[in-house]
């Protein structure tokens, strides 16, 4: 087996981990993270444009984000887009900048968020296991059609399992880091 076959499998598993990281940035953990704005778009002269392309986004305090648009005409549109989103924070518009103040999370809310993070992590593991299953099925087909030997199949299954184990360990680390961030008071 060539390393390029395994690197393709590993690359697909890494994409699943990257998708999990991206999804977890949308979960607010009681502290300001500009990543929660990544999915919010604003109608800017007829084009849906991400907020981070419309102005400066800064985090002056641990629980505050300030959005300072380059074009003041879009200020109301940004405010409306944030209100319509599911981030659960009301924007404060002073005519020049928009402030997003993150409230302190309650213990109950923290517990709910950790459950959601664990579910997202489990979903990512399911994707990784699906990639493993597909890869092993492909190697078994090759063995059945005599393209590879039984020994090659055994080596391939072992290598795919090792890649899977590393990827699942990475998912666990991502989940634990996010839970630690959420539970931090």
Q: Which residues contact 79 (CB under 8 A, 6 or more apart)?
A: 91, 93, 98
Q: What fold does the segment set 34-101 form as a domain?
A: Gyrase A; domain 2 (3.30.1360)
Per the CB < 8 A criterion, the answer to whether 77 and 46 are in contact is no
Pick the CATH number of 3-25+106-183 from 2.40.50.100, 1.10.132.20, 3.40.630.10, 3.40.50.300: 1.10.132.20
In the chain, ranges of CATH 3.30.1360.40 domains: 34-101
CB 8, CB 82: distance < 8 Å: no
Beta carbons of 54 and 78 less than 8 angstroms apart: yes
DSSP annotation string for the chain: --HHHHHHHHHHHHHHHHHHHHHHHTS--SS--GGGGTT-EEEETTEEEEGGGTEEEEEEETTEEEEEESSGGGHHHHHHHHHHSSS----EE-SS-EEEEPPPPPHHHHHHHHHHHHHHHHHHHHHHHHHHHHHHHHHHHHHHTTSS-HHHHHHHHHHHHHHHHHHHHHHHHHHHHHHHHHH--
CATH 1.10.132.20, the chain: domain bounds: 3-25+106-183
Q: What is the pTM of this model?
A: 0.70
pLDDT tens for each residue of 54-100? 888 888 888 888 989 888 888 888 888 888 887 778 888 888 888 98
Per-residue pLDDT, 37: 81
pLDDT in tens, 114-168: 999 999 999 999 999 999 999 999 999 988 988 888 898 899 999 999 999 999 9
* pLDDT at res. 74: 87
């Amino acid at each position: 087996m060539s390393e390029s076959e395994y690197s393709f499998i590993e690359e697909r598993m890494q994409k699943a981990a990257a998708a999990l990281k991206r999804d977890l940035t949308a979960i607010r953990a009681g502290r300001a993270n500009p990543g929660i704005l990544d999915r919010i778009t604003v109608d800017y002269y007829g084009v849906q444009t991400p907020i981070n392309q419309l102005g400066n986004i800064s985090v002056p305090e641990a629980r505050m984000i300030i959005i300072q648009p380059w074009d003041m005409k879009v200020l109301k549109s940004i405010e409306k887009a944030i209100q319509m989103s599911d981030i659960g924070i009301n924007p404060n518009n002073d005519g020049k900048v928009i402030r997003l103040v993150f409230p302190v999370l309650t213990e109950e809310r923290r517990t709910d968020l950790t459950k959601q993070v664990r579910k997202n992590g489990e979903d990512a593991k399911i994707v990784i296991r699906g990639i493993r299953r597909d890869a092993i099925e492909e190697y078994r087909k090759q063995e059945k059609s005599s393209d590879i030997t039984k020994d090659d199949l055994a080596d391939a299954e072992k290598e795919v399992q090792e890649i899977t184990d590393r990827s699942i360990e990475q998912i666990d680390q991502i989940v634990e880091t996010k839970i630690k961030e959420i539970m931090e008071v």
